[in-house]
Amino acid sequence: MFTGIVEELGTVERREGQKLRLRCRTVLGDVSLGASIAVNGCCLTVVAWDADAGWWEADVTEESYLRTQLGDLQPGDPVNLERPVRLEDRLGGHLVQGHVDAVGVIVTPAPDLKVLVPEPLHRFLVEKGSVTVDGISLTVVDPAPDGFTVAVIPHTADVTTLGHKGPGDRVNIEVDVMAKYAEKLLSGFLQPAAPMTSDEQNAGANK
């Protein structure tokens, strides 16, 4: 479980098949084999690292590459990194699972960020509600008919990938899990929602 508060802006060093190597420093402070680290909001498992050299590796399945923005990553690209929240930590953002719901597409970049998302996610987006974009906990300003907008402060743009993203760039989206649980609990009283197709989850593929 994460909070959506990015600890460090890392860099992709290389991709070789399923192996993804990332350069960073901060998140390696207490790293161990099998530890979880969120990369652009996608929870990955540490399989190798060298804290002195400043890198770690994860195995990323083809399914994960296809269904998240991780498949777009190239050497040199910046990535948002966050370690799991500890019980004694402050919950600075909101509860984030690191399980990407879909890929969205940026229409307008920060500071007035607008992101297109698949229609099945629209019902989870409410004014002043929480949403995760590339692992960043953000507050919805306007749940638009085709997505949502958020106001990105300069600090967030400076220390996350949002300062490097422009129109047409794809981003990982995770909606608030509490909203999904609420829908599940009320499902007996609501009209069933159509399941999201693979094309909808990967909405940005043909943008």
pLDDT band at 207 (very low <50, low <70, confident <90, very high): very low
CATH code of the domain covering residue 36? 2.40.30.20
pTM: 0.89
Domain check: are 109 and 184 in the same one? yes
Instruction: Note down the domain range covering 70.
Output: 8-82
How far apart, in whole angstroms, are the C-alpha atoms of residue 131 and residue 95?
10
* Domain contains 115: yes
203 pLDDT tier (thresholds 50, 70, 90)? low
Q: Domain check: are 118 and 70 in the same one?
A: no
pLDDT in tens, 118-146: 999 999 999 999 999 999 999 999 999 99
How many domains, the chain? 2
SS3 14: strand
113 and 159 inside one domain = yes
- The verdict on 76 and 108 lying in the same domain is no
Predicted pLDDT at 148: 98
Q: CA–CA separation, 3 vs 59, rounded Å?
A: 23
Q: Give the pair of three-digit tokens for residue 176.
A: 């608030």
Claim to verify: residue 197 and residue 109 sit in the same structural domain: yes
Structure-token match 């207490």, residue found = 30
Average pLDDT over residues 24-40: 97
Rounded Cα distance between 207 and 170, Å, is 9
Percent of the chain with pLDDT over 90: 83
Cα-flanking dihedrals φ and ψ of residue 180, to 5°?
A: -70, -40
